[in-house]
Amino acid sequence: MELTPSAHLDTFARDGLPPPERWPHLLFELPELAYPDRLNCGAELLDRTVERFGTDRPAFLDAEGRIWSYGDLLDRVDRIAHVLTSDLKVRPGNRVLLRGPTTPWLAACWLAVMKAGGVAVTVLAQQRAPELAVMAEAARCTHALCDAHSLDELLAARIPDLRVTPFGGDGPDDLLALAARHDGRYEAVATAADDVALIAFTSGTTGQPKGCVHFHRDVLAVADTFSAHVLRPRPDDVFAGSPPLAFTFGLGGLVVFPLRAGASAVLLEQAGARQLLAAIERHRVSVLFTAPTAYRVMLDELAGEGAPDVGSLRRCVSAGENLPEATWNAWYGRTGLRLINGIGATELLHIFISAADGDIRPGTTGRPVPGWQARIVDREGREVPDGEEGLLAVRGPVGCRYLADPRQADYVRDGWNVTGDTYVRRPDGWFRYVSRADDMIISAGYNIAGPQVEEVLLDHPDVVETAVVGRPDELRGQVVVAYTVVRDGVPRDSGTAAALRAFVRARLAPYKSPRRIVFLDALPRTATGKLQRFRLRDPV
């Protein structure tokens, strides 16, 4: 399809889009998806919301309960945007890496990058220097805004020509000090609706990160489909959740959806089950976003006398991994709330199959969200009958566009996004999850590419060979297990296992470190030397 003339002076991101014949077929059938050619999602989410609801309403709260009104947020975002443009010389289209825990300041930086016409590349505060270097190089990041407490790994990455500006520190060149010198409203750059707004990285089965390119209109489209039609938020809602803003699940659930609705969000630096429960009780949270693992842990915390009060909740969204029917039933039995299950993908920005209220069928994910279509296909792309397992294929207003990556041809086939999930469509039209169709491990909502962990373990001088797989786990869905052969003389004991896990944690985000390391004499292979992973996934 033909793109609108860009407002970007730096066209790297648009130049890296797949060729048009590799794009999925896009659907804009809902009237609310008819966006104008010129559209800045930062201005739509903030300036337009302020015009509708005023400046006095709460927008963000932090863990200590400090409140940012919409007026506060608008003022701080505009000051940061002035810094980006005037002090840091960010040009429209430049990629700006954002790093830090989930706080109102990180969200304000993201909105400022949008208004300044930059391209946000938000990364996890947990990610290590080698991971950061790979993503920054792939996206050709020119600038970085980094929480002052998360600088070490970013600086250790030694990313060439990256201008790093900390925020939340006490130096004269801190972003907040620079922002205090600016005043006045910032007029958002008149970006095209199909100008690139963000590049979100995900790992494939090879472990090599893939940059998922999303437009300004895409950011609004997920709010105007899943949020508007399934979640149905209200202006008086208070959102909270565990996914970080580097995950598009968190960006949508904690920034885009509440701002689009004129609601507020509690942004927590630490968002484990206990912290979530404390925030729900303290701030009267009404909309919750987290993974099935967290719901299972919270169930234990809600048992007995003195349990936290969660009576303010009215909407609970579960995504990031499959929601077991037993967890749905237990949560409903304990709280009376019907969990909104959903499946999304970084490639498609947010949730595209879900159900709420009377549409919910426990044990299923749901039906295509309004504005989306889904079907089940075989490996040749032929649609299979209801009741038969196959690959989930979807299409809607947002589609996969990998940044300069030949794997686009694997994900987009015949105009459909083929997600890599095995599903069954029931005769009543509801979709039921079966499994992942690749080697991705999904543990507590985190996507972990086994081959990436293998690469790190193989760098350890004591490791001869290793294979990393996911094993079923009642709490986390799956856990990472590394079957490992070590060199002669190295003890195959808990001390060596602990050392190997620490080695992985030093190179990769801690959640990627194996929960278990199993020592073997040799990995199972075929006569031709091919690794038999199925024997490791199911040793019986």
Residue 354 has pLDDT above 50, yes or no: yes
Please report, rounded to a whole number, the percentage of residues in the chain having pLDDT higher than 90: 84
The yes-or-no verdict on residue 402 having pLDDT over 70 is: yes
Mean pLDDT highest for which of 366-370, 449-453, 457-461? 366-370
- The two tokens of residue 90 are 């960010």
Lowest mean pLDDT among 158-167, 323-332, 385-394: 323-332
Instruction: Give the model's pLDDT for residue 231.
Output: 98
CB 320 within 8 A of CB 448: no
Residue among 394, 511, 504 at smallest CA distance from 445: 511
With bands split at pLDDT 50, 70 and 90, how would you rate the model's confidence at 293? confident
Separation in Å, CA 471 to CA 468, 480, 503: 10, 7, 21
Q: What is the mean pLDDT of residues 309-327?
A: 93
- pLDDT of 466 above 70: yes
* Residue 341 CA neighbour count, 13 Å, CB half: 28
| pLDDT beyond 90 at 2 | no
CA–CA separation, 166 and 109 (whole Å): 11
Query: Predicted confidence band at 204 (pLDDT cuts at 50, 70, 90)?
Result: very low
Token look-up 């091919």 returns 530
* Helix, strand or coil, per DSSP, at residue 286: coil
Instruction: Give yes or no for residue 439 having a pLDDT over 80.
Output: no
- CB 179 within 8 Å of CB 83: yes
Report d(CA 524, CA 485) in Å as an integer. Answer: 11
- Lowest average pLDDT, out of 17-26, 440-449, 476-485, goes to 440-449
Average pLDDT over residues 139-153: 98
Q: Which two tokens stand for residue 529?
A: 């030397």
User: pLDDT tens across 240-265, in order?
Assistant: 999 999 999 999 999 999 999 999 99
Identify the pLDDT of residue 135.
96
Residue range 359-375: mean pLDDT, rounded = 97
Are the CB atoms for 421 and 392 separated by under 8 Å? yes
Among candidates 322, 275, 330, which has minimal Cα distance to 303? 330
Residues composing the chain: 540
- The rounded radius of gyration (Å) of the Cα atoms in the chain is 23
For 273-278, the CB contacts below 8 A with 24+ separation are 273/297, 273/298, 273/301, 274/301, 275/63, 276/240, 276/241, 276/242, 277/301, 277/302, 277/308, 277/310, 278/308
Residue 529: pLDDT above 90?
no
**pLDDT for position 64:** 87
Determine the pLDDT at residue 526.
57
Over residues 117-141, the mean pLDDT reads 96
pLDDT of residue 528: 46
pLDDT for 533: 79
pLDDT digits (tens, 9 = 90+) for 478-496: 999 999 999 999 999 999 9
Contact call for residues 333 and 311 (beta carbons, < 8 A): no
To which H or E segment does residue 105 belong?
helix 104-115
User: What was the pLDDT predicted at 205?
Assistant: 37
Q: Average the pLDDT over 173-186 and give the result.
A: 96
Which CATH architecture is the domain 12-425 placed in?
A: 3-Layer(aba) Sandwich (3.40)
> 440-537 domain in CATH 3.40.50.1220?
no
On the question of pLDDT at 52 being above 50, the answer is: yes
- With cut-offs at 50, 70 and 90, classify the pLDDT of residue 97: very high
3-state secondary structure 215-236: EHHHHHHHHHHHHHHHHCCCCC
pLDDT surpasses 90 at 535: no
pLDDT value, residue 539: 63
Q: Which long-range contacts (CB under 8 A, 24 or more apart) does 52-59 make?
A: 52/262, 53/235, 53/262, 57/235, 57/262, 57/264, 58/264, 59/258, 59/259, 59/264, 59/265
Mean pLDDT of all residues in 293-302 = 90
For 123-178, the three-class secondary structure string (H helix, E strand, C coil) is ECCCCCHHHHHHHHHHHCCCEEEEEHHHHHHHHHCCCCCCEEEEECCCCCCCHHHH
pLDDT of 202 over the 90 cut: no
Give 203's pLDDT tier (boundaries 50, 70, 90). low
pLDDT band at 411 (very low <50, low <70, confident <90, very high): very high
Structure confidence at residue 540 (pLDDT): 56
320: left (phi over 0), alpha (psi -120 to 50) or beta: left
Q: For the chain, how long is the longest CA-to-CA vector?
A: 71
What is the reported pLDDT for 455? 81
In the chain, domain spans: 12-425, 440-537
Mean pLDDT of the chain: 94
